[in-house]
Amino acid sequence: MESTPALAAPQPNYLIAPSRHGHALKPSSFFPEKRHPSAASLRLQKNPLTFRGVLQQPASPLTCSATLSDTYSSEVNELADIDWENLGFGLLSTDYMYTMKCGRDGNFSKGELRRFGNIELSPSAGVLNYGQGLFEGLKAYRKHDGNILLFRPEENALRMRMGAERMCMPAPTVEQFVEAVKATVLANKRWIPPNGKGSLYIRPLLMGSGAVLGLAPSPEYTFLIYVSPVGNYFKEGVAPIHLVVEHELHRATPGGTGGVKTIGNYAAVLKAQSAAKAKGFSDVLYLDCVHKKYLEEVSSCNIFVVKGNVISTPAIKGTILPGITRKSIIDVARSEGFQVEERLVAVEELLDADEVFCTGTAVVVSPVGSITYRGKRVTYVEGGFGVIAQQLYSVLTRLQMGLIDDKMNWTVELR
Protein backbone atom coordinates (compact mmCIF):
# COMPACT_ATOMS: atom_id res chain seq x y z
CA MET A 1 0.00 0.00 0.00
CA GLU A 2 1.43 3.34 -1.04
CA SER A 3 2.05 5.71 1.85
CA THR A 4 0.58 9.18 1.96
CA PRO A 5 2.91 11.81 0.41
CA ALA A 6 4.85 13.78 2.99
CA LEU A 7 4.28 17.47 3.54
CA ALA A 8 6.65 19.82 1.77
CA ALA A 9 10.09 19.78 3.33
CA PRO A 10 10.77 22.83 5.50
CA GLN A 11 13.51 25.23 4.57
CA PRO A 12 15.08 26.76 7.68
CA ASN A 13 14.69 25.15 11.05
CA TYR A 14 12.45 22.15 11.48
CA LEU A 15 10.53 19.24 10.00
CA ILE A 16 7.04 17.87 10.39
CA ALA A 17 7.32 14.65 12.38
CA PRO A 18 5.83 11.43 11.02
CA SER A 19 3.04 9.78 12.91
CA ARG A 20 3.84 7.24 15.60
CA HIS A 21 3.05 4.46 13.11
CA GLY A 22 5.81 5.57 10.75
CA HIS A 23 3.68 7.05 7.95
CA ALA A 24 3.91 10.65 6.90
CA LEU A 25 1.10 12.75 8.25
CA LYS A 26 -1.76 13.63 5.94
CA PRO A 27 -2.50 17.34 5.97
CA SER A 28 -5.81 16.76 7.72
CA SER A 29 -4.22 14.66 10.47
CA PHE A 30 -1.72 17.38 11.37
CA PHE A 31 -4.39 19.72 12.68
CA PRO A 32 -6.40 19.57 15.91
CA GLU A 33 -9.02 16.86 16.27
CA LYS A 34 -12.43 17.42 14.69
CA ARG A 35 -10.95 19.96 12.27
CA HIS A 36 -10.29 18.70 8.73
CA PRO A 37 -10.00 21.53 6.20
CA SER A 38 -9.81 20.03 2.74
CA ALA A 39 -7.01 22.19 1.44
CA ALA A 40 -5.05 22.69 4.63
CA SER A 41 -1.30 22.63 4.40
CA LEU A 42 1.69 24.19 6.05
CA ARG A 43 3.69 26.99 4.54
CA LEU A 44 7.23 26.99 5.83
CA GLN A 45 8.94 30.29 5.24
CA LYS A 46 12.41 31.47 6.00
CA ASN A 47 12.26 34.23 8.58
CA PRO A 48 14.23 37.25 7.32
CA LEU A 49 15.35 38.04 10.86
CA THR A 50 19.07 37.61 11.50
CA PHE A 51 20.71 36.86 14.80
CA ARG A 52 24.13 37.83 16.07
CA GLY A 53 24.15 36.40 19.58
CA VAL A 54 21.17 38.55 20.62
CA LEU A 55 17.82 38.74 18.86
CA GLN A 56 17.55 41.75 16.58
CA GLN A 57 14.18 43.34 17.29
CA PRO A 58 12.16 44.18 14.15
CA ALA A 59 10.02 47.26 13.89
CA SER A 60 7.00 45.35 12.60
CA PRO A 61 5.30 42.09 13.70
CA LEU A 62 7.09 38.89 12.75
CA THR A 63 5.74 36.18 10.51
CA CYS A 64 7.12 33.02 12.10
CA SER A 65 8.83 30.20 10.19
CA ALA A 66 5.73 28.04 10.60
CA THR A 67 2.55 29.72 9.48
CA LEU A 68 -0.72 28.02 8.69
CA SER A 69 -2.34 28.37 5.29
CA ASP A 70 -5.05 30.95 4.72
CA THR A 71 -7.55 28.10 4.48
CA TYR A 72 -6.73 27.01 7.98
CA SER A 73 -5.93 30.34 9.64
CA SER A 74 -9.52 30.89 10.76
CA GLU A 75 -9.48 27.51 12.49
CA VAL A 76 -6.28 28.31 14.39
CA ASN A 77 -7.68 31.65 15.49
CA GLU A 78 -10.65 29.95 17.10
CA LEU A 79 -10.00 29.59 20.83
CA ALA A 80 -9.85 26.19 22.46
CA ASP A 81 -13.04 25.23 24.27
CA ILE A 82 -11.96 25.60 27.90
CA ASP A 83 -13.00 27.74 30.87
CA TRP A 84 -10.84 30.81 30.34
CA GLU A 85 -12.27 32.50 33.43
CA ASN A 86 -10.87 29.92 35.85
CA LEU A 87 -7.38 29.11 34.64
CA GLY A 88 -4.99 27.98 37.35
CA PHE A 89 -1.34 27.13 37.02
CA GLY A 90 -1.62 23.53 35.88
CA LEU A 91 -0.90 21.52 32.76
CA LEU A 92 -3.50 21.47 30.01
CA SER A 93 -2.53 19.25 27.08
CA THR A 94 -2.25 21.36 23.93
CA ASP A 95 -1.80 20.39 20.28
CA TYR A 96 1.91 20.38 19.47
CA MET A 97 5.37 20.19 20.95
CA TYR A 98 8.75 20.82 19.37
CA THR A 99 11.79 18.54 19.50
CA MET A 100 15.35 18.82 18.26
CA LYS A 101 18.27 16.40 18.76
CA CYS A 102 22.00 16.86 19.22
CA GLY A 103 24.54 14.05 18.81
CA ARG A 104 28.21 13.64 19.66
CA ASP A 105 29.23 16.27 17.10
CA GLY A 106 27.57 18.97 19.21
CA ASN A 107 25.31 20.17 16.40
CA PHE A 108 21.54 20.24 16.69
CA SER A 109 19.52 18.76 13.85
CA LYS A 110 16.53 20.46 12.28
CA GLY A 111 13.71 20.42 14.78
CA GLU A 112 10.21 19.12 14.26
CA LEU A 113 6.71 19.90 15.42
CA ARG A 114 4.81 16.83 16.52
CA ARG A 115 1.68 16.05 18.42
CA PHE A 116 1.97 16.70 22.16
CA GLY A 117 2.41 13.37 23.92
CA ASN A 118 4.74 11.02 25.72
CA ILE A 119 8.37 10.64 24.67
CA GLU A 120 10.65 7.62 24.74
CA LEU A 121 13.81 7.58 26.85
CA SER A 122 16.34 4.88 27.60
CA PRO A 123 16.30 3.83 31.28
CA SER A 124 19.97 4.80 31.28
CA ALA A 125 19.42 8.29 29.86
CA GLY A 126 21.70 10.88 31.41
CA VAL A 127 18.79 13.00 32.58
CA LEU A 128 17.22 10.08 34.47
CA ASN A 129 20.39 8.77 36.08
CA TYR A 130 22.52 11.84 36.68
CA GLY A 131 20.09 14.75 36.43
CA GLN A 132 21.73 16.27 33.36
CA GLY A 133 18.92 18.60 32.41
CA LEU A 134 17.85 22.23 32.27
CA PHE A 135 14.57 24.00 31.70
CA GLU A 136 13.34 27.49 30.94
CA GLY A 137 10.04 29.28 31.36
CA LEU A 138 8.58 32.17 29.39
CA LYS A 139 5.17 33.37 28.29
CA ALA A 140 3.17 34.45 25.26
CA TYR A 141 0.33 36.98 25.54
CA ARG A 142 -2.56 37.72 23.21
CA LYS A 143 -3.07 41.37 22.32
CA HIS A 144 -6.44 43.00 21.73
CA ASP A 145 -5.79 42.88 17.96
CA GLY A 146 -5.16 39.13 18.08
CA ASN A 147 -1.40 39.33 17.54
CA ILE A 148 0.86 37.51 19.98
CA LEU A 149 3.65 38.92 22.13
CA LEU A 150 6.64 37.00 23.46
CA PHE A 151 8.53 38.57 26.34
CA ARG A 152 12.33 38.66 26.03
CA PRO A 153 12.79 35.13 24.57
CA GLU A 154 16.42 35.83 23.70
CA GLU A 155 17.14 36.25 27.43
CA ASN A 156 15.85 32.73 28.08
CA ALA A 157 18.00 31.44 25.23
CA LEU A 158 21.11 33.07 26.67
CA ARG A 159 20.33 31.80 30.18
CA MET A 160 19.90 28.26 28.86
CA ARG A 161 23.27 28.51 27.13
CA MET A 162 24.87 29.70 30.36
CA GLY A 163 23.29 26.81 32.27
CA ALA A 164 24.30 24.30 29.61
CA GLU A 165 27.94 25.32 29.94
CA ARG A 166 27.77 24.67 33.70
CA MET A 167 26.06 21.30 33.18
CA CYS A 168 28.47 20.21 30.42
CA MET A 169 25.79 20.17 27.74
CA PRO A 170 25.52 21.58 24.21
CA ALA A 171 22.72 24.11 23.76
CA PRO A 172 20.72 25.54 20.86
CA THR A 173 21.90 28.86 19.50
CA VAL A 174 19.86 31.93 20.36
CA GLU A 175 18.40 31.85 16.85
CA GLN A 176 17.44 28.16 17.09
CA PHE A 177 15.86 28.68 20.51
CA VAL A 178 13.80 31.72 19.52
CA GLU A 179 12.67 30.20 16.21
CA ALA A 180 11.59 27.03 18.02
CA VAL A 181 9.61 29.06 20.55
CA LYS A 182 7.88 31.03 17.80
CA ALA A 183 6.98 27.88 15.86
CA THR A 184 5.58 26.15 18.95
CA VAL A 185 3.52 29.16 20.00
CA LEU A 186 1.95 29.66 16.57
CA ALA A 187 1.18 25.95 16.24
CA ASN A 188 -0.70 26.20 19.55
CA LYS A 189 -2.21 29.64 18.94
CA ARG A 190 -5.75 28.60 19.83
CA TRP A 191 -4.55 27.84 23.38
CA ILE A 192 -3.35 31.38 24.06
CA PRO A 193 -5.86 32.95 26.48
CA PRO A 194 -7.89 36.00 25.46
CA ASN A 195 -6.33 39.32 26.38
CA GLY A 196 -6.37 39.76 30.15
CA LYS A 197 -7.39 36.14 30.90
CA GLY A 198 -3.93 34.64 31.33
CA SER A 199 -1.00 33.64 29.18
CA LEU A 200 0.51 30.71 27.32
CA TYR A 201 3.29 29.29 29.48
CA ILE A 202 6.19 28.01 27.37
CA ARG A 203 8.47 25.32 28.81
CA PRO A 204 11.71 24.62 26.89
CA LEU A 205 13.67 21.59 28.14
CA LEU A 206 17.22 20.52 27.42
CA MET A 207 18.12 17.04 28.61
CA GLY A 208 20.70 14.32 28.29
CA SER A 209 18.62 11.76 26.42
CA GLY A 210 21.42 9.42 25.37
CA ALA A 211 22.17 6.17 27.21
CA VAL A 212 25.06 6.32 29.69
CA LEU A 213 25.94 3.97 32.55
CA GLY A 214 29.08 5.43 34.09
CA LEU A 215 29.11 9.01 35.29
CA ALA A 216 29.78 11.01 32.13
CA PRO A 217 28.10 13.56 29.85
CA SER A 218 25.32 12.07 27.78
CA PRO A 219 26.17 11.08 24.18
CA GLU A 220 22.88 12.61 22.92
CA TYR A 221 20.72 15.57 23.91
CA THR A 222 17.12 16.52 23.25
CA PHE A 223 15.74 20.04 23.16
CA LEU A 224 11.97 20.03 23.63
CA ILE A 225 9.29 22.70 24.01
CA TYR A 226 5.72 22.26 25.20
CA VAL A 227 3.14 24.84 26.21
CA SER A 228 0.08 25.23 28.41
CA PRO A 229 -2.41 28.06 29.03
CA VAL A 230 -2.11 29.32 32.60
CA GLY A 231 -3.57 31.77 35.06
CA ASN A 232 -2.07 32.79 38.40
CA TYR A 233 0.73 30.70 39.89
CA PHE A 234 -0.26 30.99 43.55
CA LYS A 235 -3.75 29.94 44.62
CA GLU A 236 -4.05 33.37 46.22
CA GLY A 237 -3.99 34.90 42.73
CA VAL A 238 -2.75 38.47 43.07
CA ALA A 239 -3.65 38.50 46.76
CA PRO A 240 -0.65 38.63 49.14
CA ILE A 241 1.22 35.38 49.75
CA HIS A 242 2.62 34.26 53.10
CA LEU A 243 6.19 33.05 53.40
CA VAL A 244 8.19 31.25 56.06
CA VAL A 245 11.97 31.66 56.33
CA GLU A 246 13.79 28.32 56.22
CA HIS A 247 16.93 28.38 58.38
CA GLU A 248 17.93 24.70 58.40
CA LEU A 249 17.53 23.46 54.82
CA HIS A 250 19.23 25.36 52.00
CA ARG A 251 18.46 25.73 48.32
CA ALA A 252 22.02 26.22 47.02
CA THR A 253 25.69 26.37 48.02
CA PRO A 254 28.60 28.48 46.75
CA GLY A 255 30.22 26.77 43.78
CA GLY A 256 27.11 24.69 43.13
CA THR A 257 24.37 25.02 40.54
CA GLY A 258 22.00 27.44 42.28
CA GLY A 259 22.69 30.10 39.68
CA VAL A 260 21.49 28.03 36.71
CA LYS A 261 18.08 26.56 35.94
CA THR A 262 18.99 22.91 36.31
CA ILE A 263 16.23 20.46 37.18
CA GLY A 264 17.83 19.26 40.42
CA ASN A 265 17.52 22.68 42.04
CA TYR A 266 13.77 22.33 42.16
CA ALA A 267 13.48 18.80 43.51
CA ALA A 268 15.71 19.90 46.40
CA VAL A 269 13.18 22.48 47.64
CA LEU A 270 10.17 20.16 47.71
CA LYS A 271 10.69 18.92 51.27
CA ALA A 272 10.76 22.38 52.86
CA GLN A 273 8.03 23.66 50.56
CA SER A 274 5.71 20.75 51.35
CA ALA A 275 6.23 21.22 55.08
CA ALA A 276 5.54 24.96 54.78
CA LYS A 277 2.33 24.44 52.81
CA ALA A 278 1.14 21.89 55.35
CA LYS A 279 1.37 24.67 57.94
CA GLY A 280 -0.62 27.09 55.80
CA PHE A 281 2.23 29.06 54.22
CA SER A 282 2.37 29.80 50.50
CA ASP A 283 6.07 29.11 50.04
CA VAL A 284 9.56 29.17 51.56
CA LEU A 285 12.16 31.95 51.66
CA TYR A 286 15.72 30.59 51.82
CA LEU A 287 18.81 32.02 53.51
CA ASP A 288 22.42 31.67 52.46
CA CYS A 289 24.08 28.48 53.70
CA VAL A 290 27.30 30.11 54.96
CA HIS A 291 26.16 32.87 57.33
CA LYS A 292 22.52 31.75 57.49
CA LYS A 293 21.40 35.36 57.71
CA TYR A 294 21.22 36.75 54.18
CA LEU A 295 18.19 36.39 51.93
CA GLU A 296 18.58 34.32 48.79
CA GLU A 297 15.29 33.51 47.03
CA VAL A 298 11.92 31.84 47.32
CA SER A 299 11.53 28.29 45.92
CA SER A 300 10.84 29.49 42.38
CA CYS A 301 11.09 33.29 42.41
CA ASN A 302 13.30 36.22 43.43
CA ILE A 303 12.64 38.47 46.43
CA PHE A 304 12.57 42.27 46.75
CA VAL A 305 12.46 44.40 49.92
CA VAL A 306 11.15 47.99 49.88
CA LYS A 307 12.07 50.74 52.34
CA GLY A 308 11.11 54.27 51.39
CA ASN A 309 12.28 54.95 47.84
CA VAL A 310 14.88 52.16 47.96
CA ILE A 311 14.20 48.70 46.54
CA SER A 312 16.74 46.05 47.58
CA THR A 313 17.22 42.56 46.20
CA PRO A 314 19.93 39.91 46.82
CA ALA A 315 22.84 40.24 44.42
CA ILE A 316 23.45 37.51 41.86
CA LYS A 317 26.52 35.68 43.13
CA GLY A 318 26.23 32.10 41.92
CA THR A 319 23.64 30.75 44.36
CA ILE A 320 20.67 32.78 43.10
CA LEU A 321 18.98 32.33 39.74
CA PRO A 322 19.32 35.43 37.52
CA GLY A 323 15.60 35.83 36.92
CA ILE A 324 14.50 37.53 33.72
CA THR A 325 11.50 39.07 35.45
CA ARG A 326 13.86 40.17 38.24
CA LYS A 327 16.11 41.86 35.69
CA SER A 328 13.11 43.49 34.03
CA ILE A 329 11.62 44.77 37.29
CA ILE A 330 14.97 46.33 38.24
CA ASP A 331 15.05 48.23 34.94
CA VAL A 332 11.39 49.25 35.26
CA ALA A 333 11.91 50.44 38.85
CA ARG A 334 14.90 52.57 37.89
CA SER A 335 12.99 54.05 34.95
CA GLU A 336 10.19 54.94 37.41
CA GLY A 337 12.63 56.84 39.62
CA PHE A 338 13.32 54.28 42.37
CA GLN A 339 16.76 53.52 43.75
CA VAL A 340 17.52 49.83 43.31
CA GLU A 341 20.28 48.10 45.26
CA GLU A 342 21.59 44.63 44.42
CA ARG A 343 23.47 43.57 47.55
CA LEU A 344 23.50 41.32 50.60
CA VAL A 345 20.11 41.71 52.27
CA ALA A 346 20.02 40.57 55.91
CA VAL A 347 16.95 38.74 57.16
CA GLU A 348 16.53 41.38 59.88
CA GLU A 349 15.70 43.94 57.19
CA LEU A 350 12.38 42.19 56.74
CA LEU A 351 11.33 43.38 60.20
CA ASP A 352 10.98 47.05 59.27
CA ALA A 353 10.40 46.83 55.50
CA ASP A 354 7.53 48.83 53.99
CA GLU A 355 6.78 46.19 51.37
CA VAL A 356 8.10 42.84 50.19
CA PHE A 357 7.33 41.23 46.85
CA CYS A 358 8.46 38.33 44.67
CA THR A 359 9.14 38.17 40.93
CA GLY A 360 9.32 35.35 38.42
CA THR A 361 8.03 34.24 35.04
CA ALA A 362 5.24 32.22 36.62
CA VAL A 363 4.26 34.71 39.35
CA VAL A 364 5.21 37.91 37.45
CA VAL A 365 5.00 40.14 40.58
CA SER A 366 3.48 38.70 43.74
CA PRO A 367 2.93 40.82 46.87
CA VAL A 368 4.02 39.30 50.19
CA GLY A 369 1.46 39.71 52.97
CA SER A 370 3.56 38.27 55.77
CA ILE A 371 6.86 36.55 56.53
CA THR A 372 7.42 34.27 59.52
CA TYR A 373 10.97 33.92 60.87
CA ARG A 374 11.75 31.72 63.86
CA GLY A 375 8.15 31.91 65.01
CA LYS A 376 7.80 35.68 64.63
CA ARG A 377 5.34 36.88 62.00
CA VAL A 378 5.81 40.25 60.28
CA THR A 379 2.80 41.56 58.37
CA TYR A 380 2.94 43.92 55.39
CA VAL A 381 0.00 44.65 53.08
CA GLU A 382 -3.56 43.53 53.72
CA GLY A 383 -5.59 42.11 50.86
CA GLY A 384 -3.60 43.39 47.88
CA PHE A 385 -0.49 44.99 46.48
CA GLY A 386 1.64 47.53 48.23
CA VAL A 387 1.85 50.87 46.44
CA ILE A 388 5.28 50.27 44.87
CA ALA A 389 4.69 46.63 43.93
CA GLN A 390 1.41 47.66 42.30
CA GLN A 391 3.12 50.37 40.29
CA LEU A 392 5.84 48.05 39.01
CA TYR A 393 3.38 45.21 38.33
CA SER A 394 1.14 47.54 36.33
CA VAL A 395 3.96 48.84 34.13
CA LEU A 396 5.44 45.40 33.47
CA THR A 397 2.19 43.56 32.73
CA ARG A 398 0.87 46.35 30.51
CA LEU A 399 4.10 46.16 28.54
CA GLN A 400 3.93 42.35 28.32
CA MET A 401 0.34 42.49 27.01
CA GLY A 402 1.00 45.26 24.51
CA LEU A 403 -1.10 47.87 26.31
CA ILE A 404 1.68 50.46 26.40
CA ASP A 405 4.51 51.34 24.04
CA ASP A 406 7.49 49.00 24.42
CA LYS A 407 10.27 51.54 24.82
CA MET A 408 12.54 48.81 26.21
CA ASN A 409 12.35 46.71 23.02
CA TRP A 410 11.61 43.64 25.12
CA THR A 411 8.70 42.11 23.23
CA VAL A 412 8.63 40.08 20.01
CA GLU A 413 5.35 40.25 18.12
CA LEU A 414 3.95 37.31 16.16
CA ARG A 415 0.92 37.16 13.90
**Catalytic residue IDs:** 261
How many angstroms separate the CA atoms of 158 and 23, rounded? 36
CB–CB of 14/100 below 8 Å?
Answer: yes
CB–CB of 38/72 below 8 Å?
Answer: no
The one-character DSSP state at 348 is G
Query: Could you report how far apart the first and last alpha carbons of the chain are, in Å?
Result: 40
Coil, helix or strand at residue 246: strand
CB–CB of 188/76 below 8 Å?
Answer: no
Residue 148 host element (H or E) = strand 148-151
How many angstroms separate the CA atoms of 297 and 156, rounded? 19
CB–CB of 57/144 below 8 Å?
Answer: no
CB–CB of 364/328 below 8 Å?
Answer: no
Show the CA angle centred on residue 156, arms to residues 415 and 357, nearest 5°. 100
CB–CB of 311/339 below 8 Å?
Answer: yes
Pairing of strands 364-373, 241-246: parallel
How many angstroms separate the CA atoms of 375 and 390, rounded? 28
How many angstroms separate the CA atoms of 145 and 30, rounded? 27
Angle of the 153-166 helix axis to the 174-187 helix axis, nearest 10: 130
